[in-house]
Amino acid sequence: MREFGLYIDGEWTAALGGGTFEVIDPANGRPVARVARGGAQDVERAVRAATKAAAAWQAMPLRERAAAMRRVADLMQRDTEELALLETLDSGGTLWYSQVTVTDIAAKRFEYFAGLVDKVEGQQIPVSANHLVYTALEPLGVTAHIIPWNGPLWEASRSVPPALAAGNAVILKPAQEALLGAIKLGELAKEAGLPDGLVNVIPGPGSDVGEALVQHPGIHGITFTGSVATGQRIMRGAAATMKRLVLELGGNAANIVFDDADLERAVEGSVWAAFSNSGQICVSGPRILVHESVREEFTARFVERVKGLSVGPGVENHPIGPVVSEHHMRSVLDYIEVGKQEGAKLLTGGYRATDGALRDGYFVMPTVFDDVTPSMRVWREEVFGPVVTITGFRTEEEAVHMANDTEYGLANGMWTQSLARAHRVARLLQSGQVYVNEWFCGDIQCPAGGYKMSGIGREEGQQALGNYLQLKSVRVNLG
């Protein structure tokens, strides 16, 4: 049983309220850690520390700032095994992917944004012979990062590096359900030479720590990933102090299999799209739309492949691990019941796995529904679990219409061998990312974010720096 405090001002500390909470391993329902439960008073401490640290950080030579961020990446590589295990223990994710998260995602993001520390450039703007007008980009100050449970280090490493590279100090609020992968980020930052208080981590309830961060006037930006309802609440709360917001609020991607697709590749890719991290990824592909002429063959091959997926603990590297919590498992199982009642045809899965060693864990068998129509809730709502729906289409227009017939717009994808169709359909799909003949865009250079209810702003890529900068115009009369 591991124990963690809050990480504030370069030190592990108890919560001022004295509370703690247990973190559960979803593979067996047993506690794996006890963590300090932060509250509003702890946010106050962290904002004070972060404000001081931001000034120290901004005063450091750029070269040293970049080097310190690179050292965070080096330390992640050094501690890969431990960080990956922590990432898997409470989120339930597959261990090999947690290792990839540490070495190829989190560390790379620190390296990438370290490279941008000295590239925050303004412009000189010609207006007249008598004036010098230029723009300067300045950090916001202190930014808060409120992240979900479906890959704590993955989520933390997405927005913290650009905020730091832009010259800000950060306060990270991970989700109570799964947070261990991200909990040591502050400690690594200190060891790497970042000023004390530059990276603070405050676990605790969203209704307490989260709300305090949103309302605090000393915080100038909020980056949030999670549900639409919480995102809307944060947006309303942040209005009082006019904070900069980046919101990533989930998705319900369509995965379109055209009649000219390489079916073997489409089957393999659709399994990867739908069931990675047991479907708990905002850019998963849970809505499969398949052309009627290949539907029977695709469906038979897809279901056969899904039946062959082994289910078990993430630490044992089974492709299907548990979902994050008992509460979430109930929600996924409820959706499965709704799907059956609505008349969707269950082809495989559809129940909790309770065999042998899995009996105390939160395992949902990978589930495929066929004959799903766009009016059904399993099609319209974000189930966020190992559940996919199959729906047929006859024309390209119909596929595009169905893909866009959702309030979400985070990602969509397609399988086709026609270059013209790929670009034509990509242009029509209403989502921040479009995948063609593969799924997910793991490269840090690739911006991600949502159309419609999937959010505001884009993370990753060079422009993510702009989320954490404000622009000043300076006009000098030379006359």
- How far apart are CB 459 and ligand TAP at their closest, in Å? 11
Decide: is 183 part of the binding site for ligand TAP (CB under 6 A): no
Q: Which is nearer to ligand TAP, 114 or 214 (CB)?
A: 214
Check residue 323 for interaction with ligand TAP (CB under 6 A). no
From the list 173, 184, 190, 243, the catalytic residue is 173
Span near ligand TAP by CB under 6 A; candidates 50-58, 135-143, 158-166, 207-215: 207-215
Rg of the chain's alpha carbons, rounded to an integer?
23
Member of 175, 201, 403, 429 binding ligand TAP (CB under 6 A): 175
Give yes or no for residue 150 binding ligand TAP (CB under 6 A).
yes
For residues 208-237, one letter each, b for 16 or more C-beta atoms within 10 angstroms of the residue's C-beta and e for the rest, the string is bbbbbbbebebbbbbbbbbebebbebbbeb
Catalytic site residue 264? no
Phi, psi of 239 (to 5 degrees): -60, -35
Residue of the chain from 382, 396, 459, 460 that contacts ligand TAP (CB under 6 A):
382
Q: Is 115 in the site for ligand TAP (CB under 6 A)?
A: no
- In 3-state terms, what secondary structure has residue 395? coil
Catalytic-residue membership of 345: no
Catalytic site residue 282? yes
Read off the amino acid at residue 296.
E
3-state secondary structure of 23: strand
Q: Give me the least distance between CB of 225 and ligand TAP, in Å please.
A: 5
Nearest CA-CA partner of 286 in 383, 409, 426:
383
Indicate which residue of 187, 382, 396, 459 is catalytic: 382
Q: Which is nearer to ligand TAP, 227 or 470 (CB)?
A: 227
Stretch that binds ligand TAP, among 35-43, 76-84, 242-250, 397-405 (CB under 6 A): 242-250
Binding flag, residue 148, ligand TAP (CB under 6 A): yes
Asked if 21 contacts 176 with a C-beta cutoff of 8 angstroms, the reply is: yes
Strand partners, 8: 11
441 as an active site residue: the answer is no
Maximal CA-CA distance, the chain: 84
- 384 lies in the binding site for ligand TAP (CB under 6 A): yes
Helix axes 292-307, 263-275, angle to 10 degrees: 60
DSSP readout, 261-326? S-HHHHHHHHHHHHHGGGG-STT---EEEEEHHHHHHHHHHHHHHHHT--B--GGGT-SB---S-H
Residues that bind ligand TAP (CB under 6 A): 146-150, 173, 175-176, 205-207, 210-211, 214, 225-227, 230, 233-234, 248-250, 282, 382, 384
Catalytic annotation, residues? 173, 248, 282, 382
